Amino acid sequence: MVDSPDSILNPTIFIGTLELREPVTAFTDFMIAITCAIAFWILTTSKKERSDSFHYYRGFFLMYALGMTFAGWIGHGLQAYLGPEWKMLGWLCSMTGQALLVIGSLIEVKSHINSIIYKSIVGALIVQFIVFTVLILNPSTRGFEVPQMASVIVLTGFVIPLQLFGYLKNYNTGSVLVICAIVYGIVPGYVYNNQISLNRWFNYHDISHLLVVIYMIIMTFALRKLALKSRVLAD
């Protein structure tokens, strides 16, 4: 076992000749991926009637499952073999998942807004996605702060207003749960940004990842209510 360059990161361990960096961080990231994969499975196997937003909400969980898998093993665990630029795979998947969450939220209210507003929101989302994708792909601007800022903009600037409007029109408690999940998301963000750690084996990465697991569990209950209708389909 050897130390990581950063004194607060998990020490590197060796499994035979395999060098595994930040093992706890990699595993807790993967726990988020597993949670999202379970959510994807729950939606996919449900016998209930699907709403128009179903595929977008299911896609949200799928892209996050992929993104957090990349983040855990490519972004942390296998960094001895891959350059830091590979971390952008996880960031791009997560950004795509968030874009799908916005589209699903927009479909919830599509019948209550005119086409100009609908197209304007879609256009703004596309511009936002392109801008942050370029920032991630550009080596001089690439960094975790970029997808973090993109997430803040998407969740507070798009998802919360759309879900709030959707609740006022449709009275689906799933919208309230989405908003509650996003507000709760401040907690893991605070832990991460302030580097609140217990020790090297359970640092701010690891704590924030476990808090994000809870965030995704809340989102599972929330999006299940929005993606599925109460009527059960016949076999």
- For the chain, the domain total comes to 1
With both helix axes pointing from N to C terminus, report the angle between 160-170 and 88-109 in degrees, rounded to the nearest 10: 30
Mean pLDDT of the residues in the chain: 95
> What DSSP state is assigned to residue 1?
-
Those residues with Cβ within 8 angstroms of residue 72's Cβ, 6 or more apart along the chain or in another chain: 25, 26, 27, 28, 29, 30, 32, 33
Q: Which of 168, 163, 166 is nearest to 218 (CA)?
A: 163
User: Is there a domain that residue 174 lies in?
Assistant: yes
In a domain, 58, yes or no: yes
Q: With respect to residue 18, please indicate whether it lies within any of the assigned structural domains.
A: no
Banded model confidence at residue 230, pLDDT cuts 50, 70, 90: confident
- Whether 179 maps to a domain, the answer reads yes
The pair of structure tokens assigned to 96 is 């795509």
Q: State residue 2's pLDDT score.
A: 47
Q: Each residue of 102-153: pLDDT tens digit?
A: 999 999 999 999 999 999 999 999 999 999 999 999 999 999 999 999 999 9
Determine the pLDDT at residue 198: 96
Tokens linked to 211: 């808090």
Whether residue 173 lies inside any domain: the answer is: yes
In this structure, the dihedral spanned by the alpha carbons of residues 74, 77, 79 and 80, taken in order and rounded to 10 degrees, is: -140
Contact 10, 24 (CB under 8 A): yes
Q: Please indicate, yes or no, if residue 140 is contained in any of the structural domains.
A: yes
Q: Is residue 15 included in any domain, yes or no?
A: no
Q: For the domain that residue 123 is a member of, what is the CATH number?
A: 1.20.1070
Q: What is the pLDDT of residues 68-94, one digit of tens each?
A: 999 999 999 999 999 889 999 999 999
Residue 176 lies inside a defined structural domain of this protein: yes
Whole domain around residue 99: which residue ranges? 27-70+83-232
